[in-house]
Amino acid sequence: MSFSMTGFGQSARHFGGYYVQFEIKSVNHRYAEIVLRMPREWTCYEDDLKRIVQRHVKRGRIDVNISKEKAEDSAKSFVVNTSAARAYLDAARQLGESLGIDDSLTAHQLLSMPDVLISEDTLPGSAHPDEEWEEVLKSGLEEALAGLVKMREKEGRHLSKDLEERLSKLEELHAELTRLAPTVVGDYRNRLRQRLSELLDGTMDEQRFGMEVAIFADRSNVDEELTRLGSHFEQCRELLRAHEPVGRKLDFLIQEMNREVNTIGSKANHLALVNRVVEMKAELEKIREQAANME
């Protein structure tokens, strides 16, 4: 089952008088990049939370936002962190002595400093141990991730279906190229004989003529490229049915298919083949754009 890199998931929890919201969104990215935003007092859980995300998502840019707000039925209760306030005053005094400036700080200014006015339940020995908050954060994140993965899976099914259809179109064009390739040398031989007959009044060196045709046949042979293309198509179909991230492998195969098609186009001195090559390049470009969304 292939997954898209685009998705969204969310969940919420009520705990300790707070309403905690989890939102996760993911977009295309060459590698796996996890950006986690949450209140500062929870940064100690950051590594564990990122590891949870990595278990579910292997590729893409994943933005995780965890926010909390006081529940409506909970009265807000704050206390002054006197140690932090004292540290700010000491720093202001040292700065004043060093630069010879006024070092006074008002109570209002102190209260606006980070970590001076804090919620009671963030203090050591609060009613809810850290282990309980950790479990709340992990369970809420798991639920949001489940929604994200579900959306990525659904989008991945649509992408896989579209890619399968485009692969079928490429296989049809490949079959036409395989049918037309043997006729290239014969058509060239007939055109060359006709032109030489017109120029030389019907007299020509048959040995030289045969050598020229043989050189063209060797130069325009595309059997190897057609064989490799067929192999790449099979590998693409296998990847689309695999239960693992396939985006980067698909990207590599598409580059290889483009290379083979370009080689066929450069070797083919035949209008019908060139037209099929142009169609294949157009389909490959569409496949490349879609594959860029695959995990």
Which whole number is the average pLDDT over 11-33?
92
pLDDT (tens digit per residue) in 262-287: 988 888 777 788 899 999 999 999 99
pLDDT in the model for residue 186? 60
Instruction: Name the pTM for this structure.
Output: 0.69
Range 231-257 burial, b when 16+ CB lie within 10 A, else e? ebbebbbebbeeeebbbebbeebbeeb
Residue 126 confidence class, pLDDT cut points 50, 70, 90:
very low
What are the C-alpha distances in Å from 162 to residues 78, 90, 225? 56, 66, 25
pLDDT in tens, 151-162: 999 999 999 999
Domain spans of the chain? 7-74+128-152, 82-115, 154-291
* Distance of alpha carbon 116 from alpha carbon 88, whole angstroms: 9
User: Tell me, what's the pLDDT at 37?
Assistant: 96
54-80: average pLDDT? 83
Mean pLDDT, residues 117-143? 74
Residue 160: Cβ-neighbour burial (10 angstroms; 0-12, 13-18, 19+): buried
Distance, CA of 202 to chain centre: 64
CB-CB contact of 1 with 156 (8 Å): yes
What is the dotted CATH code of the domain comprising 7-74+128-152? Answer: 3.30.230
**CA distance from start to end of the chain:** 11
In this structure, what token pair is assigned to residue 4?
């898209």
Evaluated on CA atoms 12, 15, 19, 24, the torsion sign reads negative
Closest residue by Cα to residue 14 from 73, 86, 57: 73
